[in-house]
Amino acid sequence: MGEQISMTVKGNMATALGAKLCRPNVVPAYPITPSTLFPEKMSEFIADGELDASMINVESEHSAMSACIGASATGARVVTASASQGVALMHEMLFIAAGMRLPIVMAVGNRALSAPINIWCDHQDTIASRDSGCLQFYAENNQEGLDLMINAFRIGEDHRVLLPVMVGIDAFVLTHTMEAVKVPAQEDVDDFLPPYKPKYGILDHREPATFGSFAPPEYYQEFKYEQTKAMEKSSEVIDEVFADYAERFGREYCKVSTFQCEDADIILLTMGSMSGTAREAIRKMRGDGKKVGLAKLTVYRPFPEAELREILSKAKAVAVVERNISPGSTGAIYAELAGAFINQKKKPLLKNFITGLGGRDILVETFREIYEKTLEVVKAGEVKEPMEWVAMNEEVMR
Amino acid sequence: MTEKEELELFASGHRACAGCGEGTAVRQILKVAGPNTIATICTGCLEVVSTGYPETAWEIPLIHAAFENSAAVAAGVEVALKELGRKEGVNVIAFGGDGGTFDIGFQALSGMLERGHDITYICIDNEAYMNTGIQRCSSTPYGASTTTSPTGKYSIGESRPKKPIAAICAAHGIPYTATANIAYINDLKKKVKKALETEGPAFLHVFAPCPTGWRHGSDDTIEIARLAVETGVFVLYEIIDGDICNLNVTVKPKKRKPVEDYLKRQRRFGHLTKEDIAKIQQEVDEKCDRYGLPKRE
């Protein structure tokens, strides 16, 4: 194994370094805060001869994903990046990329959706495309961003999967924050990730085939069934690939990772960069004798139902902390977690906390408040108010 | 290339309406392009009639993704071919209908032209959204009745002139722009050949009547297409390097027929009065003067 080089980089640079190590052929991209540094860095790598690939500086995110689809269907390894309105603009094409079973990888700087316009972090952009058929990974820090990019290609391109993968890094908290990362050696990534071999045909005049057919009612449902089965199958592929990555590179990933959950009465379920703060809050609360643990969701699609059930069923209550909201319902993870437990005899009380929208800081104090509110639920033995908003600006609310 | 050497790459048995101008256009274009061609198409009639799973009318590699992005998908294909070392000797054609070109796909088209991809973009224009049932488009000519620009007590039908798409594309400074018409197959094929031989982006605007939408007999398609040129309604030209001063009219009728000959054959114009027709005639006359076409009969 080659030596892993230590570097101190912003999150966008970390995902760009991860992408570069995967030797993509084509990078169609459009600038958008906070992910712009990704296409900038990829352009530099190409300009400096560090990466043998072509940028396509498209005129919109819709065209970015469209060009990704064209290039991927031609047999190229393809990567792009976007955020917020850009992910929303390419929404249509995300479904088509997945429906055509193209393993395109996209780094997302998770950012709030307008209106009001806001460039800071929440998860609404990718959560809004959860039904597109793309796998979704969320990083806690820049190292995870880098590593998850490399894993994303291997998982998406696996012949049992063949689906696009999104790797989310939180806007500014990660995209623009310098952190130390270890960068694997090129030869080791080459060994981990063989060149992309499409399972079915590609756009090649020597073997003509039609892609993106019109499928009438007697065929459409079977296409969707096969696609859904591939997403389900990706669950075991993720486990295999994460395990292989851990063995080779020494960093372990799980769909859901835990901290101090064994004897916890209350478990905080988090996603993205808030998880680090939650861990710190738990250390402090443990010092005060509170039996609290953390479950961090790294993989949101496929939704790791079985793992979550296994981890969370031992707790008395789970606080689902989310940076997204479906107006008229709850946070997306809460609703899905409730679904995962609905047919179980043994299940924890579930409480949903909406916070961190549009870059609102999620502090150690926020998690203390969440813990106390969840403790009240445990004491009461029931959940009267399933969803609560925390860290509200009371001055504005007056 | 002689007729014998040409391959049929757009198979018969597709589901286009009888007399469909678009089917004729694609068949002839692919004869010129040959088998070493990859095509993209946008959502619309062409996709519906030719790609119904599990069949396909396409004997060349084809990709359809969505409505507004044939040019962007083609850009991805072209760059990938170059990156993977497979572009040499391979044509990339992006097809679009008029809706997918003039309206919803215009941004992606402009981006592709501006970036200089080696792609021939071919718009097959039947002057309305035919697949959804004859709705007006920015390609619909003045006076045409469509389902969203119907003629009525207070409406002449479409109230706006046709968008000059070929001139707009040429204004990007692309190496080759041309208009063509399915009634002038040799002119069309020459232009396809030139477009494909051009290094960099080329734009072809192909006029193709739609019996269903224009409401004319299915055996009148070619005659009506020819009348569009003979009356000067649709001018056949090519523009090199986007230089409007370098515009070459390729088919000049010796004497121009009155526009009424063209309009009266189509029920979409059936409501037009003598005054309406005179107004259209005047506009066509002025346009033909600019192109240096002969005076009217």
For residue A391, the Cα-to-chain-centroid distance in whole angstroms is: 24
Test mutation, A26, A196, A197, A203, chain B, max B CBs within 10 A = A203
For residue B50, the Cα-to-chain-centroid distance in whole angstroms is: 18
Under an 8 A CB cutoff, do B72 and A67 touch?
Answer: yes
A:B CB pairs within 8 Å: 160
Distance CA A12, CA A39 (A): 9
In chain A, which segments carry CATH 3.40.50.920?
A: 256-397
Shortest Cα–Cα distance, B105 to chain A (Å):
10
Query: For the segment B9-56, what is each residue's pLDDT rounded down to a tens digit?
Result: 999 999 999 999 999 999 999 999 999 999 999 999 999 999 999 999
Average pLDDT, chain A: 98
Question: How large is the ipTM?
Answer: 0.97
Under an 8 A CB cutoff, do A210 and B58 touch?
Answer: yes
pLDDT value at residue B1: 47
Listing DSSP states for B141-181 in one string gives PTT---SSS-EETTEES--SPPP-HHHHHHTTT-SEEEEEE
Query: For the segment A263-288, what is each residue's pLDDT rounded down to a tens digit?
Result: 999 999 999 999 999 999 999 999 99
Distance CA B42, CA B68 (A): 7
The count of other CB atoms within 10 Å of the CB of residue B173 is: 15
Q: Which helix (H) or strand (E) holds A170?
A: strand A165-170
Q: Which helix (H) or strand (E) holds A238?
A: helix A217-249
Distance CA A309, CA A387 (A): 20
Which domains does chain B possess?
Answer: 3-291 (3.40.50.970)
Under an 8 A CB cutoff, do B80 and A100 touch?
Answer: no
Test mutation, A55, A61, A66, chain B, max B CBs within 10 A = A66
Cα angle vertex A136, ends A140, A300, to 5°?
Answer: 75
Q: pLDDT at residue A398 above 90?
A: no
Shortest Cα–Cα distance, B72 to chain A (Å):
5
Query: For the segment B137-153, what is each residue's pLDDT rounded down to a tens digit?
Result: 999 999 999 999 999 99
B73 vs A contacts (CB less than 8 Å): 66-67, 69-70
- DSSP letter for B135, please: B
Q: pLDDT at residue A324 above 90?
A: yes
- In the sheet that A165-170 helps form, which strands lie side by side, from edge to edge? A79-82, A105-110, A165-170, A135-138, A299-301
The chain B residues in contact with chain A (CB within 8 A) are: 35-38, 40, 47-48, 51-54, 56, 58-66, 68-69, 71-84, 86, 90, 107-108, 110-111, 114-115
Closest residue on chain B to A60 (Cα):
B108
Phi, psi of A184 (to 5 degrees): -60, 155
In chain A, which segments carry CATH 3.40.50.970?
A: 5-249
| Closest in A66, A203, A214 to B47, CB measured | A214
Percentage, residues of chain B above pLDDT 70: 99
Q: pLDDT at residue B3 above 60?
A: no
Class (C level, CATH) for A5-249: alpha beta
Q: How far apart are the first and last CA of chain A?
A: 60
Q: Of the CATH numbers 3.40.50.80, 3.20.20.70, 3.40.50.300, 3.40.50.920, which one belongs to the domain with range A256-397?
A: 3.40.50.920
| Closest in A53, A59, A213 to B56, CB measured | A213
- Residue B245 — very low, low, confident or very high, per pLDDT cuts 50/70/90? confident
Q: How far apart are the first and last CA of chain B?
A: 37
Find, among A97, A54, A53, A105, the residue nearest to A79 by Cα: A105
User: Whole-model pTM?
Assistant: 0.98
B51 vs A contacts (CB less than 8 Å): 210, 212-214
* Residues 6 or more apart in contact with residue B3 via CB below 8 angstroms: none
